Structure 1
Amino acid sequence: MNRPTIYASRLALAASFAFGAFAAPAFAQDATDAAPAFAQDATDAAPAADADTAAAESGITDGDAIVVIARKREERLLDVPIAITALGEAALDKMGANDLSGVQGAVPNVNLVQGRGSASSANFFIRGIGQPDALQTFDPAVGVYVDGVYMSRIQGALLNLFDVQRVEVLRGPQGTLYGKNTIGGAVNIVSKKPDLDRTLGEAAFTYGDYNETTAKGYVSVPVVPGSVALSVAALYDNRDGIVTDPTTGEKYNDRNNLSARAILRAQLSEGVEVLLSGDYTRQRNSLTLGYPTAPLVGFDYNATFTALTPFVIAPAATYGAYDYKATPSFHNGEGQRLDHWGVSGTVNVELGGPFSLTSITAYRKLRPDLYIDIDATAAQVGDVFVGIDQHQFSQELQLKLDADRLAGVFGLYYLNEKVTSHQEAYANDYLRYVGTPLDFIRYIDDDQNLDSYAAFGQLTYNLTDQLSLTAGLRYTRETKRYHRETTALLSSPVFPAVQVPSGFVFPDDLPAPYNAQNEVTFDAWTPMASLSYKPSENIMVYASASRGFKSGGFNGRVNGLADVTLEVDGQTEVVPYFAPEKVWTYEAGAKGSWLNGKVTMSLAAFHSDYTDFQARVGGGNTGITGGSFPVINAGQLKIDGVEFEAMVRPSRPLTLSASVGYLDARYTEFKDGRRPPAFSCNPTGSKIVCKPAFAPPLTARLGADYTVPIGAATLSFGGDARFVDKQYLSVDNREGLMEDGYFLGNLYAQVDFDKFYVRGMVKNVTDSLYKTDGQEFSSVGNIQTVYYGDPRTWQVTVGVRF
């Protein structure tokens, strides 16, 4: 059977299964099962605490309660032929999600990798597709959007959710609807719009474990009733560190965040709306420490620098089994600072008839200064300072069409981004000269400039009242310019400071990594098509095919010729940049709602062909001392999966929710040009021995909420249990960089009075120990470090709504 036939068979089987699962209840449905009509814009809804609303919003995919804008127009979740999860404000509160890390484990086949030594990074993997390296020269595979504005870097993307109406998570390539193309999916954060007619607000104070102190407030005021309104939101989030240095008592892995946002909404006329937004985030954290899983190894030069002898610097697991203890080499108050702010203007204009126009103009500025102890030991081997100065300007135009049978959007997009960084690497314990320690420092200064242009469009035509065809096309063109300078120095009591011997250090002042080329352009056409059928108003089945694209670029970790030297078809070549990634995703799914919204379900099955995977790996052609970090377009992956979500209300007080994600991700080709092939995923050139990283085969969540009136008050209590399966935390599947799978349980109880509420919550009830991320820098000192999630914590919140 050929490949297209196999894919078609899989899609047909998935569609048949989905239709069979959803069609049976449909035949029993009568007219009373129709979903209620939406009487108002969901973004303008006031907070509610009655039992019906609380139960509805506690579900993950309540199609009758949540309106989404995934396709750039308001639609019921049930009417969108995309695998999408929408988390409303109430659901986020009950999960204790102060920031985006709170959605980890709540969405099938979505993996949030938070850590890598930074308290502010949010690296999403959706269906096994993500960003392989946290460095600023690698593009995210999953786009994070705030009110339509794309966040270019994962640094600073761990956003606080203090004035959010909902979070929409779209799985699969998103290019024909969104300004910036994303190959893996999109996380769409929708803020509350200021209400033009009413004064609304909320304030809450939380105290919890590790001296957690969180205060947040939101107020929306009509400045000119019916025409102009202003909302202001602010959040202060502080918590002591959960990691202790046994030698000093110092605390690490803390939180110290301040965020604010203001939105001005003006209804200039019946057909013209203007939204002006400004936000600021400030973080002042201590170090974020992981834990070593392999012994640190250094090297001793002989007198003529012609031979090396390895020695052990520090053993693995310094303090035995992990118990939130670690000792860094930084002890002078080094930590992490981040300032992140942006302004945007959105103009919505009704052009008359079926047409409307939206313009989104935005400028953002990101400035993190991060000290990171990568090796997480008292030894100075992988200690770095990374200072980044990033700013971006974007302009997007959307022409929307909403006619009787035809709806869609046509868009133009431009993004200019400039990223400069200054980095310092300290490794005084890594090298010796005839037994005498050598002081080592490397200075790196680089900058990257990006110009990204795109034109995109998507149209949906209703062939009948039940059958719809959607088609879209995108053209993307991106130009990157990169410059890098690096200098490394060695010194010791034996001799004065000298430049590192030739072949170990990257020469000064070359425009791009070891070549004369400092500019490269990538472009791609990415189409999509889907067919959806609605046997009844509240049931849909669909099938789709879409192509995704992620730009290539320059390797920001280049230190020497070995980083860009690979064997290609048996020949040694200098590869100055890595190529783009591409994916074709085929999906079939079904959604349904029955019994007046008491039961909602969604099911999706997909197959992805993923090519030219950008793998940042260690080792290479540098010999025994290592020090290289090549990026290789490793080859091809096949990814198959199934996703299921459901919400059931068996009685008025009780709401049950569930989600399951199954993922089968595997390499079908891994072209590894590193020599020698130590830790290669294809050491013999014929047998692949690795599995894709951050792709757990199973993710699952079960939740329950029970809401009952108690006199004039309402009592709600419930929780959820989450499971994340075994996954590898490095591309080449290092033994210590692996999570065996874990369960997490969370519980809450809340009492709502007329305007006041009190909520208590316990997270990670069973005190599970689980890894969230890994750092593989084995080519320098054999560094292999893991990061852990929070232990069991509790919190109490007192709030008021008005």
Structure 2
Amino acid sequence: MKRFVRTSLALGTMLMTGYAVPVFAQAAPPPADEAEHTDRGGIQEIVVVARKTEESLQTVPVAVSAYSGAMLEKQSIVNITQLQTTTPNLNFSSAVAQPGSATVFIRGQGSSDGLIAIDQAVGIYLDGVYSARSTGGAFDMVDVQRVEVLRGPQGTLFGRNTTGGAVNIIANQPSTDGFDAMARFDYGNYDTFLARGMINVPMGDALAARVAYQHREHGSYGRNLSLDRGLGDANSDFVRVSFKLEPPGSRFKAFLSADFTKFSNLGELVGLKSVTLGGPTSPQQLLVGLCNGTAPVPALNALQPFCPAVARGPLQDYVYGQNGNDNIYAVYQNTPAYGKSRTHGASGVLEYEFSDAAVLKSTTAWRGVYMNSLSDNDGTPYLFTGGLAPFAGNVIDQDQFSQEIQLSGTLDRLQYILGGFYFVENGTDRSRSASLFPLSPGIGVVDGTVRNQSLAGFSQLIYEIVDGVRITGGLRYTEDKRRLVSRNRDINYFTNVVTSSIPDFLDGDVSDPFRATFNRTYNYWSYLVSADWQATPDVFFYAKTSRSQRSGGFNTRAVAGGNPPVSFAPEEVTDYEVGAKVDLFDRHVRINLAAFNSDVKNVQRNLIGVAGTRLISGVANAASARIRGLEAELTVIPVDGLTLGANFGLTDPKYKRFINILDNTDWSDAAFPYTPKYTFGVTGDYERDIVNAGTLRLRADYGWRSKQYAAPMQLPAAARVGLTPEQIAAGNQALQDTSKISSYGILNARIAFELAEPDLEFAVYATNITKEKYFTRLLSLENTPFGLTSYTPGDPRTYGVSVTWRY
């Protein structure tokens, strides 16, 4: 209740501040992305910046899904991860032990690890500014003008780390057209509370300011039965302040923005999905035995007092779905977990138009993230892997600076963009974790400091050969310099003896046995060649080929023996795509289609192994692959006020070659992580004006995805000894199935009524109406001596009411 009062007072103060300047109040024009580009009515046109210049969604030769701020509100989308319901071939997950993170997969390209030195395959951009880390990347959609999801490699204009695509979040900018204000309050089950406010204040004809704020929280979705405490809650605050300067008659404009987000929870909700029981002397059963005083080696039973107090009973008793445990949100953990993160940023965009032939634009930005968490990674009362309170936890601290300069313009039939980009980030990755404790007394300390620099030059030319026919060529050169200073070490819990994890021959510093320095430089070219044809005003075709890279880097968890290796090389994707965008029946039917084929070299894969009794994971270049697929988006307006939509995605990936470097086994039949073969969604919107009363709005959407796998999993070399090829294939499939996430579908709905006077909207909403039980992430360890797989469940059914006021 105190938090509710504080938040309400904050919003009230914002809005009362706005009331002090009523002279500016007037009706604001509709956003550009919702404006009609024709007087024929039908489906509204959306303007996107998929090629860093404003273009119609229907005439840009890129597979892109775009959502206006109004569309996001109708779908009750408040977080970036919810976009996967209505976007083909888009999948979100989260990094292990990183609450509030967002790892993105598009067309089979992504990374399930979120360490400071490992880059993602899908770039996240805030007003055109690259956000390098998935930590804290579960961004809230607050006062957003538009979100664009670009599918496929975007390496020419957006740079490296966009081999899968890019997600561009574009906020509403301040406007001098008039005073504007908004307040929204939601309340729902699980004590869900959302308070959102915005004010836009003109300061004369040239300057305007805008402030947006949101507080969002909900109680625990689940419970840790071992410690009798809640899990799966969330509490966040977001604020953004922006200014826009655009003197009338001037060719100059400037946009300045700063934002801050704070997130916290009681820790990740992690349960036990399945177990492969080991033999009596396996590390798995030795740990269970000593914690229950029944270890076959009597000396081990003396370690029982050091086990977590709740570590008792057979391991299989804690598996979800066993012994009557059908509550996916009721789990057993030994650690009093927590999660905290802060993200912040500031940017300045300066633009001067010399003429139509030359527009100079500068984007300067700073961003940073801090995360501190303690997690139970295995979802059991035993400590197979995870934090050991109060000695262990994870800390990631990163800050970045970027500068982009671009010159663009139009010369008769030629459009061009020339630019340069500089990026630098500094960060630390500090964590302490235990494995098989107290069977193994070592506390593994990851202590890495990174500095990553990137310098690039790029150009793109668009030439209209004849009316309606264009060719596009783009080229980008990038130089990456990456540096890791590692101080990894092991601390014996019982003796406090510290040993180095990095041997001297790995660039070690002989004067400091706990420090090793690694440097790598990578150079690569990206390109784009495309042709498009505006066959009629409503029919558009394109074909393109492009190349993009994901940067190489370092494994901050590197240990002695190079298991996995300290560094890994850049991943390269060469893509071929054809597409069509068609409007029919006076823009009452829209069909957007794309088909693609990608060749991938040096595929970066997260591999998991065991060094001694310690769990080791990291990225290695393990394979080459090809990825094929289709995407289709359909929008239909059968009658006035009713809009129906459907989307379909097919992704068919296959490794051409995959040799697991940990034991040199063939993993070519392994699955791609977090890549459902099929995604499908349907939406329905109905809007009806009621004379002298207001407007009724109805919305429902359903998103479904086929089975997927959380990680590539195959038999290790030792388990293949003496087996026939057929037995190995069957064993590989059985092990791969331990990382399977079954198909699932999510149904959401919203009913709203907006009064004609005053401007108030009342709404009721529900998500996951059918109470679908599903997994969003798995940690698969059944090909290791740990022999278990843990899970993070998707959100349960939530519902609530919402009130929105606009001025």
Question: Normalised by the shorter chain, which TM-score bucket?
Answer: 0.7 to 0.9
Amino acid at match of 2:170: V
Amino acid at match of 2:624: Q
Tell me which of 253, 258, 266 is aligned to 2:245.
266
Q: Tell me whether 1:358 sits opposite 2:361 in the alignment.
A: yes
Q: CA deviation at 1:413?
A: 0.4
Tell me which of 390, 393, 397 is aligned to 1:389.
397
Q: Which residue of 2 aligns with 1:141?
A: 121
Q: Distance in 1 between matches of 2:740 and 2:175?
A: 48
Alignment of 1:218-237 (within 5 A): 218-224=198-204, 226-237=205-216
Tell me which of 106, 111, 115 is aligned to 1:126.
106
Q: CA deviation at 1:102?
A: 1.4
Amino acid at match of 1:476: T
Q: CA deviation at 1:787?
A: 1.3
Q: Per the alignment, in what secondary structure is the counterpart of residue 136 of structure 1?
A: coil
Q: CA deviation at 1:717?
A: 0.8
Q: Distance in 2 between matches of 1:373 and 1:455?
A: 44
Q: Tell me whether 1:762 sits opposite 2:791 in the alignment.
A: no
Conserved in 2, the CA contact under 8 Å of 1:737 and 1:785?
A: no
Q: Distance in 1 between matches of 2:790 and 2:425?
A: 31
Q: Which residue of 1 aligns with 2:801?
A: 796
1:115-153 per-position Cα deviation (integer Å, ceiling 9, x unaligned) = 534331111101000014222221011000000110000
Q: Distance in 2 between matches of 1:55 and 1:751?
A: 24
Q: Distance in 1 between matches of 2:508 and 2:65?
A: 41
Q: Distance in 1 between matches of 2:616 and 2:773?
A: 32
Identity score, percent = 31
Q: 1:63 to 1:532 in 2, by over 3 A?
A: farther
Alignment of 1:269-418 (within 5 A): 270-295=250-275, 297=284, 299=286, 314-315=315-316, 317-318=318-319, 320=322, 321-331=326-336, 334-384=337-387, 385-418=393-426
Q: Which residue of 1 aligns with 2:4?
A: none
Q: 1:483 to 1:546 in 2, by over 3 A?
A: same
Q: Which residue of 2 aligns with 1:255?
A: 234
1:577-599 per-position Cα deviation (integer Å, ceiling 9, x unaligned) = 11110011000000022333211
Q: Which residue of 2 aligns with 1:479?
A: 481
Q: CA deviation at 1:317?
A: 4.0
Conserved in 1, the CA contact under 8 Å of 2:385 and 2:615?
A: no
Q: 1:303 to 1:397 in 2, by over 3 A?
A: farther
Q: Tell me whether 1:242 sits opposite 2:221 in the alignment.
A: yes
Q: Which residue of 1 aligns with 2:534?
A: 534
1:415-443 per-position Cα deviation (integer Å, ceiling 9, x unaligned) = 0001112211134x5343xxxxx644222
1:506-565 per-position Cα deviation (integer Å, ceiling 9, x unaligned) = 45997679997610001101111000011112210000000010111111222331514x
Amino acid at match of 1:290: V
Q: Tell me whether 1:665 sits opposite 2:653 in the alignment.
A: yes
Q: Per the alignment, in what secondary structure is the counterpart of residue 791 of structure 1?
A: coil
Q: Distance in 1 between matches of 2:558 and 2:316?
A: 28
Q: Tell me whether 1:592 sits opposite 2:582 in the alignment.
A: yes
Q: 1:365 to 1:138 in 2, by over 3 A?
A: same
Q: Which residue of 2 aligns with 1:204?
A: 184
Q: Distance in 1 between matches of 2:536 and 2:798?
A: 46
Q: Distance in 1 between matches of 2:508 and 2:646?
A: 49
Q: Distance in 1 between matches of 2:240 and 2:260?
A: 7
Q: Distance in 2 between matches of 1:191 and 1:349?
A: 21
Amino acid at match of 1:328: Q
Q: 1:626 to 1:245 in 2, by over 3 A?
A: closer
Q: Tell me whether 1:644 sits opposite 2:632 in the alignment.
A: yes
TM-score by length of structure 1 reads 0.84
Q: 1:53 to 1:581 in 2, by over 3 A?
A: closer
Amino acid at match of 2:144: V
Q: Per the alignment, in what secondary structure is the counterpart of residue 466 of structure 2?
A: coil
Conserved in 2, the CA contact under 8 Å of 1:272 and 1:350?
A: yes
Q: CA deviation at 1:289?
A: 1.8
Q: 1:557 to 1:786 in 2, by over 3 A?
A: same
Q: Tell me whether 1:728 sits opposite 2:709 in the alignment.
A: yes
Alpha carbon RMSD of aligned pairs, Å? Answer: 2.7
- Unaligned regions of 5+ residues in structure 2, if any? 1-27, 278-283, 288-295, 301-311, 388-392, 714-734
Conserved in 2, the CA contact under 8 Å of 1:762 and 1:795?
A: yes
Q: Tell me whether 1:776 sits opposite 2:753 in the alignment.
A: no
* More displaced 10-residue stretch of structure 1: 752-761 or 594-603: 594-603
Amino acid at match of 2:361: T
Q: CA deviation at 1:293?
A: 2.5
Q: CA deviation at 1:411?
A: 1.3
Q: Distance in 1 between matches of 2:670 and 2:233?
A: 34
1:447-492 per-position Cα deviation (integer Å, ceiling 9, x unaligned) = 1100101111111101111110001001011010101112223345
Q: CA deviation at 1:390?
A: 0.3
Q: Distance in 2 between matches of 1:462 and 1:175?
A: 23
Q: How many residues align?
A: 711
Q: 1:374 to 1:734 in 2, by over 3 A?
A: farther
Tell me which of 660, 673, 692 is aligned to 1:693.
673
Tell me which of 480, 484, 491 is aligned to 1:489.
491
Amino acid at match of 2:403: Q
Q: Distance in 2 between matches of 1:497 and 1:515?
A: 19
Q: Distance in 2 between matches of 1:371 and 1:491?
A: 18
Q: 1:447 to 1:598 in 2, by over 3 A?
A: same
Amino acid at match of 1:257: S
Q: Distance in 2 between matches of 1:193 and 1:769?
A: 39
Q: Distance in 2 between matches of 1:516 and 1:760?
A: 57
Q: Which residue of 1 aligns with 2:617?
A: 629
* More displaced 10-residue stretch of structure 1: 357-366 or 592-601: 592-601
TM-score by length of structure 2 reads 0.84
Q: 1:367 to 1:576 in 2, by over 3 A?
A: closer
Q: Which residue of 2 aligns with 1:602?
A: 592
Q: 1:274 to 1:180 in 2, by over 3 A?
A: farther
Q: Distance in 2 between matches of 1:152 and 1:783?
A: 32
Conserved in 1, the CA contact under 8 Å of 2:246 and 2:253?
A: yes
Q: Which residue of 2 aligns with 1:525?
A: 525
Q: Which residue of 2 aligns with 1:36?
A: none
1:585-623 per-position Cα deviation (integer Å, ceiling 9, x unaligned) = 000000022333211110000000011111111126x46
Q: 1:403 to 1:302 in 2, by over 3 A?
A: farther
Q: Per the alignment, in what secondary structure is the counterpart of residue 650 of structure 2?
A: strand
Q: Distance in 2 between matches of 1:681 and 1:45?
A: 60
Amino acid at match of 1:722: G
Q: 1:98 to 1:417 in 2, by over 3 A?
A: same
Q: 1:316 to 1:270 in 2, by over 3 A?
A: farther
Conserved in 1, the CA contact under 8 Å of 2:221 and 2:231?
A: yes
Conserved in 2, the CA contact under 8 Å of 1:560 and 1:628?
A: no
Q: Distance in 2 between matches of 1:312 and 1:481?
A: 46
Q: 1:783 to 1:363 in 2, by over 3 A?
A: farther
- Unaligned regions of 5+ residues in structure 1, if any? 1-43, 57-61, 306-310, 433-437, 565-574, 683-687
Q: CA deviation at 1:178?
A: 1.9
Q: 1:303 to 1:548 in 2, by over 3 A?
A: farther
1:143-195 per-position Cα deviation (integer Å, ceiling 9, x unaligned) = 00000110000011111111111100001111222255521100011110111
1:20-50 per-position Cα deviation (integer Å, ceiling 9, x unaligned) = xxxxxxxxxxxxxxxxxxxxxxxx85479xx
Amino acid at match of 1:607: N
Q: Per the alignment, in what secondary structure is the counterpart of residue 620 of structure 2?
A: strand
* More displaced 10-residue stretch of structure 1: 365-374 or 253-262: 365-374
Q: Tell me whether 1:612 sits opposite 2:612 in the alignment.
A: no
Q: CA deviation at 1:799?
A: 0.4
